[in-house]
Amino acid sequence: MSDGAPLLELEGVSKRFGPVQALDRVDFAVRAGEVVGLVGDNGAGKSTMVKTIAGIHAADEGTIRFEGREVSIAKPQDATELGIATVYQDLALCDNLDVVANLFLGREEVSPGFGTASRQLDEARMEHETGELLSNLAVTIPSLRSEVGTLSGGQRQQVAVARSLLGEPKVVLLDEPTAALGVAQTAQVLNLIRRLRERELGVVVISHNLVDVFEVADRIFVLRLGRAAGEFAAESTTEEHVVSAITGVGSDGEKKNGVEQELRAESAESGEEER
Amino acid sequence: MSEAAAGTAETEEGLPRPKETIRRLVQGDLASLRVVIGLALIWAIFQFENDRFLSAQNLTNLMLQITAIGLISVGIVYVLLLGEIDLSVGAVSGLAAAVMAVLNVKHGWNPYLAIAAAIVVGLAIGVLQGSLFSRFAVPSFVVTLAGLLAWQGALLQVLGSTGSINLTDPKITGLANTFYSDTVGWIIAAVVVGGYGAVLFLGHRRRVAAGLESENLAGLVVRFGLVAVVTIVATTVLNSDRGVPLALLILLGFVVGMEYVVKRTGFGRHVFAVGGNAEAARRAGIPVNAIRVAVFGIAGTMAAIGGIMAASRLLAVNQNSGGNELLLLAIAGPVIAGTSLFGGRGSVWTALMGALVIGSISNGMDLLALSSAVKFMVTGGVLLLAVLVDAVARNQRSATGRV
């Protein structure tokens, strides 16, 4: 774990959907070369927090600092320009295109020439750069020219992560990167996350799977009902501690009230996603 | 990205091995190979039934017959790649031809201006339909069905009370009725073969320069040889009749040009992306709606060009122009030849190959003097068969883990 100043810092960030307080004065930070596991129950505000950082929802209150500077992230492009890349759960790859085409989708490199529309794609250069990037990340794909639809779930996830790195980001947000993956594939993706850390990126991993989080994260940040409910160093804590922070068992009195709120928060968040 | 790992890494992993190359060759070209075999079968059957089918004269006629439908299909391929459909292209081709005829014959416009106006009409209609489809999220099926009716009405309106206009301007009639001398034909053939060879060679050299594994040289030589043989045989056959027709060159020019756009440019890549996963394309920053509008604009433009060629060949525009089965055959062609109806898969070559298959069946049955009733049923059967074969192939691919 690196001890430098935070790369990305949230202070007192709140987000409200109608009557539901999805995020309530959350403080959060991630440093360069650090993997933070973001855990919490359904509706705890994990997705809302990531979407706030990614610029999909603007925060209602609070400040976001990036490299020590106060910034406003109002739309996804703002986040991208700062150097924050997000890999969503549903991957957003085109199955009918090959690995190279997917990696460079929307930022294809063209050969020099006249006009913009008629310029030829520089396939050789894109393939070269793809090969370089993937081998640096030790990602093995049978062929860079195979269609993404023919790849396994783990390979697809690795392609999606690799793609987020093309913009040379400083912080990468991964939304459930190991969901629906088999054991071997999960290991591949976790290895890739470790290599992101080696590249001195700040990595935030949202996951339901505590085993995966413990395996890869330096720090575990727990959200519950939109509030920060605990922060643990992965080395010195146990799953029981984290689980009790997630469920709130042990933080007496609040429980019954909490369940009710949780249901509301959950329905608000899922409603938001459908939109 | 660090420079240290560059150069050595590619050869170790992530790039095609020989086995993979073979698999790609077999599976990637399977659809086109299927069409070639199907076409050979059709030609063999008709030649067996009537030995005039493969005569130079009839093959030249066949080329002239498929020009209009092939050009319209070029636009349809783009629309199919998006996973959409354009039912208006037949009516648009008729309307554009009528606009050209009226401006040239009744108003005495310069023929080139009249042709340009017709193309602009096609482009404008396509852009209008594409905008309605993308802005209001109305299914393209419905927008273009409405267009089909409306533009047919517009055709009748433009033609006016006469209902038919004969074309006499040599610039316009020459489009479908010009044949080149033997010498010019061979020069064109040499340019085609030489150009193809240069493209293959330069592509190979660029990959080598970038330190990438290239297709093996034998494969390149085979591809070059095939194109050379087809070009030489075609030129020989055409020269032994009236010569290489301008119409065929126009068709080939558009097929090659539009194939280049869709396979080699950023715009084409985005068309494939929108057809494969529109949401992914949007997240990657691709202007999805603009792509859609442009594609429908292309379909309208190609329909207009096809209509102009059809009118030039018929020497007239009438109330039936762009009507009858033209629309359905223009859509059936690319599908028969392997462009997916569901978007994201196909090539502009399928417009040419599909038009050849459909044109051959139609031409052959005309030679055998079969009735329209039989012709429609046979063509329908061929379309169904092609789609079934494609579906079976796709199921096999997904069964072996390849989508």
**pLDDT tens sequence across A92-151:** 789 899 999 999 988 888 887 666 566 788 888 898 889 888 888 888 888 888 888 888
d(CA B97, CA A192): 59
Residues 6 or more apart whose Cβ sits within 8 Å of residue B48:
none
d(CA B240, CA A49): 74
Q: Is A131 near chain B, with CB under 8 Å? A: yes
Element containing residue A69 per DSSP (H, E): strand A69-71
Phi/psi zone of residue B7: left (φ > 0), alpha (ψ -120 to 50 degrees), beta? left
Tell me, yes or no, whether B250 and B374 share the same domain: yes
d(CA B349, CA B334): 8
Tell me, yes or no, whether B191 and B118 share the same domain: no
Identify whether the C-beta of residue B206 lies closer than 8 Å to the C-beta of residue A124: yes
Residues 6 or more apart whose Cβ sits within 8 Å of residue A187:
none
Question: For residue A146, which residues of chain B lie inside 8 Å, CB to CB?
Answer: 20
Q: Is residue B339 part of a domain?
A: yes
Q: Is residue B5 part of a domain?
A: no
Question: B193, B217, B244: which is the final residue of a domain?
Answer: B244
Q: Which of A97-106, A238-247, B46-55 has the lowest mean pLDDT?
A: A238-247
The pair of structure tokens assigned to B107 is 């108003």
Residues 6 or more apart whose Cβ sits within 8 Å of residue A52:
A10, A13, A15, A23, A58, A59, A73
Name which residue leads in pLDDT, A216 or B15.
A216
CB atoms within 10 A of CB B321: 27
Q: Is residue B47 part of a domain?
A: no
Amino acid identity for residue B213 in this structure = E
Q: Is B18 near chain A, with CB under 8 Å? A: no
Question: B244, B263, B292: which is the final residue of a domain?
Answer: B244
Question: B205, B220, B244: which is the final residue of a domain?
Answer: B244
Q: Is residue B12 part of a domain?
A: no
Tell me, yes or no, whether B159 and B204 share the same domain: no
pLDDT at B187: 95
Bridge partners for A11 per DSSP:
A63
Tell me, yes or no, whether B389 and B258 share the same domain: yes
Tell me, yes or no, whether B134 and B283 share the same domain: yes
Q: Do B12 and A135 touch (CB under 8 A)?
A: yes
d(CA A124, CA B210): 6
Host domain of residue B188: 179-244
Q: Is residue B14 part of a domain?
A: no
The pair of structure tokens assigned to A211 is 């085993």
Q: Do B272 and A94 touch (CB under 8 A)?
A: yes
Count structural domains, chain B: 2
Q: Do A94 and B344 touch (CB under 8 A)?
A: yes
Q: Which residue's entry shows tokens 């299927």?
A: B34
> Which domains, ranges and CATH numbers included, belong to chain A?
6-83+169-274 (3.40.50.300)
pLDDT at B214: 63
- What is the pLDDT confidence band of residue B223, given thresholds at 50, 70 and 90? confident
Q: Is residue B27 part of a domain?
A: no
Element containing residue A201 per DSSP (H, E): none
Residue A274 reports pLDDT greater than 50: no
Q: Which of A83-92, A194-203, B4-13 has the lowest mean pLDDT?
A: B4-13
Q: Is residue B43 part of a domain?
A: no
Give B54's DSSP letter: T
Q: Give the model confidence (pLDDT) of B129-160 as tens digits.
A: 999 999 998 999 999 999 999 999 999 999 98
Q: Is residue B1 part of a domain?
A: no
Give A147's DSSP letter: B
CB atoms within 10 A of CB B322: 32
